[in-house]
Amino acid sequence: MADRRTFIGIGAAAVLALVTGCTGGATEEGPADFSGEVTGAITVLTNRTDLATTALPEYAKKFAAKYPGTTVTFEPVTNYEGDVTTQLSSGEYGDVLLIPNTVAVDQLGQFFEPLGTTADLKAKYRFVDEKAYDGQVYGLSIGGVANGFVVNTKVWAQAGITAPPKTPEEFVAGLSLIDTKTPAIPFYTNYKDGWPLSFWNSQRAIFAKADANETFPADASPWQPGKVQYVTDGLLFDIVKNKLTEPDPLTTNWEGSKPMLGTGKVASMLLGSWAIPQMKDAATAAGANPDDIAFWPFPWQTGGKFHTRIEGDYKAAVSKTSENKATAKAWLEWFVNESGFSADQQAIPPAIGQELPAALEDFQATGVELMELPAAAANSGKEDQIIKSSEIDLAGNIYRQKLVDIARGAAKGDKESYFAELNKRWGEAQSQVMK
Amino acid sequence: MTRRYAAWLYLAPALALLITFTYVPVANMVVYSFTSWDGLDVTMDPVGLDNYVRVFTDERYWRVFLISGYYFVASFAQIAIALYFAVILSFNTRFRNLFKGILFFPYLLNGVAVGFVFLYLFQPDGTLDTVLRWAGLGDQTHYWLGDPDIANISLAGTSVWRFTGLSFVLFLGAIQSIPGEIYEAAEIDGAGDWHKFRHIIVPGIRRIISLSFILAISGSLSVFEIPFIMTGGANGTRTFVVQAYETAFQFRQIGLASAMAVVLLLIVLLITWIQRRLVPDEEVTLS
């Protein structure tokens, strides 16, 4: 799941004309109709361009063995978010696809078929509420991830640290030890590629409150001391401020960072558990020991325990415009339940009761509680609206790049002034949205 | 009668393309700029002039125009370099076709490719730093993109490298359209190279020079590819179009972004109009 987050479309200026040119795809609400025989051809859109001609057709063969007469064609999309969003508005978007995150929850019914009620599907699958609206589930996760630090334990051990730090201060102190005792870069921000900075937003479980998503939009100033943005963004600020990151953040490179972590030139990065197999591969390819790569929780304990958010990553859905919905739904359920895709990808299996991947077993063994945070219900969609209106991209990189710039002295301000500005902008938008 | 229809018949394909791909999208964009559309929803809610008010009152939207200043200043360097080489290479210089090729080549490269090439050039211990060290200027190395005081200059420099070729070809074409007899006559009258440049070439290509300035202004207001590829607009290099892109595609505010695009269009039209007022477009006669 490496390049799937390359949200940014090259040549996007041209897309503006395209997007604005077409506003089709309008559909009326209606009950889902999956009747019909499971046979015939369907098209599946995928962000996994690396698997589209290798592993995915193998799954399709197994599916055809179970349901004779079906053919599944994969359509790989490089710039998944941007391109598929454009396709959505044109009305041509395959039979099964991953829901782009640009679709707001209240728009899900315009483009996708409801797969069942949240209450029913909850018993069977994890992460069902992430793409649900009004009690209807529109997308099923194809494999979940946990959030935390991917670290090179060999480097951390050289600095004398073998267990995950328990507080942000301890973490920064650990990075400082790495800085003085080893030649490694203690923490790599991946500032230039940007999307890795978005994982600072995925640490909302640290206070062990299951209603974190529900209460978040109700708060007018999340960057106040003691609140989650203050803790997470504050840690990023402190790390950069103490010069524990790469010397020139403007020239970081995601692909290049993988072997750096693998070989111990970089000690840590904040990512998701999906990155572990990639880092291990990079270590092996560079002749280093893949067992040095481990996954650590965010350095914050509540009640003497780490809490880590697990989430569903991309959710797959059945297209509202599909002409073979019976087969599309059969494929979706088979892919989630029986294909073994999530196990092959070392992801958290979406079906309840299946075993966790090995990498996460180790992670859990360090005393971490994996928490699923239900999506906001009463405040459903409000957070997205505040983000849009305030242009503080909580789930993105723009305001965090500014944060890094301030921390490294490249832009005016300090932690207090920037957090105050964020609180003000967020608060203004929040009061508009929540009124 | 038939002749009138025949003319339209010949024009039809070109007009159809022009209307479909230029005027209809622009008209759409103007319509969107009065809505709060997110680019996806079935319904578009009209919001009147709200988007325009926001573009002009919210500092974050209009401040990015200041970044264009770097590119505008750089475009003077670009015009000067291009004019210099165009004059030299319009006379008999050794290897002049080779040099013409070298100068024009960067313009043929895709802007994205240029961005990536320069990204490596500007890396710490990258090509530029290495060359500086060879030249004994090791203490002059910087974080070319990481240092906020230099980042915009580095990017503007990249832009100069890329677009000098275009200005160069425009100037060269104009200079070569000046009849050779005029130079001969001038030489007989005892004019030196500077006089020839000042009194023959400059007046002869005045229209192209003024065109270059319009292109420079509108170009520097609408810089996109180079900062977008090289810094993503981070570190204080966000230009107006990068900001519009983020508003449209990161924050899904197509309505607001359309308003920004309309504002940009109007500003460019206004500047062009002012420029035409100040430098009237007279017929140039050299004889």
Each of the 287 residues of chain B gets a pLDDT tens digit; together they read 577 888 889 999 999 999 999 999 999 999 999 998 888 888 888 998 999 999 998 888 888 888 999 999 999 999 999 999 999 898 877 888 899 999 999 999 988 899 889 988 988 888 888 899 998 887 888 888 888 888 999 999 999 999 999 999 999 999 988 888 888 888 898 888 888 888 888 888 888 888 888 888 888 988 999 999 888 888 889 999 999 998 888 888 899 999 999 999 999 889 888 888 877 666 555 54
Contact in structure between B250 and A393 (CB atoms under 8 Å) = yes
Element spanning A262, H or E: helix A254-263
Is A107 in contact with B41 (Cβ distance < 8 A)? yes
**Whole-number pLDDT of residue A27:** 43
Residue A397 DSSP SS3: coil
Least confident of A232-236, A285-289, B277-281: B277-281
C-beta atoms surrounding A131 within 10 Å: 26
CA distance A301 to A318: 40
What separation in angstroms does the CA of A182 have from each of A159, A226, A293, A309, B253? Answer: 7, 32, 17, 31, 46
| Domain chopping of chain B, boundaries | 26-37+47-108+151-278
Contact flag A110-B41 (C-beta cutoff 8 Å)? yes
Q: Do B235 and A103 touch (CB under 8 A)?
A: no
Strands (E), A153-262: 185-187
Q: Which class would CATH give B26-37+47-108+151-278?
A: mainly alpha
What is the model's pLDDT at position B286? 57
Q: Identity (one letter) of the amino acid at B185? A: A
The tokens describing A77, both together, are: 């999309």
pLDDT digits (tens, 9 = 90+) for A318-373: 999 999 999 999 999 999 999 989 888 889 999 988 888 887 888 888 789 999 89
Per-residue burial over A311-331, b = 16 or more CB atoms within 10 Å of its CB, e = otherwise: bbbbbbbbbbbbebbbbbbbb
SS in 3 state form for B112-123? HHHHHHHHHHCC
The Cβ of residue A349 has, within 10 Å, a number of other Cβ atoms equal to: 22
Percent above pLDDT 70 for chain A: 93
A20 to chain B nearest CA, in Å? 7
Q: Taking CB atoms and an 8 Å cutoff, what residues of chain A touch B124?
A: 247-248, 251
Q: Which of A22-31, A72-81, B18-27 has the highest mean pLDDT?
A: B18-27
Find the residue in B nearest to A248 (Cα): B146
State the nearest Cα–Cα gap between A249 and chain B, in angstroms.
Answer: 6
Does A411 sit within 8 Å of B39, measured CB to CB? Answer: no
Yes or no, beta carbons of B40 and A107 under 8 Å apart: yes
Written as six digits, the tokens of A90 are 């044109």
Q: Which residue of B has its CA nearest to A398?
A: B234
Q: Which residues contact B27 (CB under 8 A, 6 or more apart)?
A: none
Do the chains contact at A411 and B148, CB–CB below 8 Å? yes
Residue pair A124/A340 in contact by the 8 Å Cβ criterion: no
Predicted TM-score (pTM) of this structure:
0.81
For testing contact with chain B, the best of A79, A83, A250 (most B CBs within 10 A): A250
Q: Which of A21, A192, A248 is the closest to B25 by Cβ? A: A21
Task: Write the pLDDT tens digit of every residue in A404-428.
Answer: 999 998 888 999 999 999 999 999 9
Q: How confident is the model at residue A193 (pLDDT cuts 50, 70, 90)?
A: confident
Q: What are the DSSP calls for B225-272, one per residue?
A: HHHHHHTTTTTTT--HHHHHHIIIIIS--HHHHHHHHHHHHHHHHHHH
DSSP state of B83: H
* Closest CA–CA distance from residue B109 to any residue of chain A (Å): 15
What CA–CA distance (Å, rounded) separates A327 from A10? Answer: 34
Contact yes or no for B142/B164 (Cβ under 8 A):
no
**Token output for A326:** 């019976």
Closest CA to B99 of B47, B150, B165: B165
Q: How far is A329 from chain B (nearest CA, A)?
A: 24
Residue B249: count of CB within 10 angstroms of its CB = 24
**Cβ within 8 Å, pair A82-B249:** yes
Q: Taking chain A, what is the end-to-end CA distance rounded to the nearest angstrom?
A: 39
Substitution target in B250, B256, B258, B265 with the highest count of A β-carbons within 10 Å is B250
Between residues A435 and A312, the one the model is more confident about = A312
The whole-number pLDDT of residue A15 equals 39
Cross-chain Cβ contact B42/A405 below 8 Å: no
Q: Tell me the shortest Cα–Cα distance from B166 to chain A, in angstroms.
A: 21
| Domains in chain A, CATH or no CATH each | 28-141+313-347 (3.40.190.10), 146-310 (3.40.190.10)
Cα dist. A418→A194, A403, B231, B272 in Å? 19, 7, 21, 39
Closest Cα in chain B, distance from residue A415 (Å): 17
A251: nearest CB among B124, B229, B245 = B124
Tens of pLDDT along A297-315? Answer: 999 999 999 999 999 889 9
**How confident is the model at residue B12, as a pLDDT?**
93
Chain-chain contact of B146 with A16 (C-beta, under 8 angstroms) = no
DSSP string computed for A52-99: TTTHHHHHHHHHHHHSTTEEEEEEE-SSHHHHHHHHHHHT---SEEEP
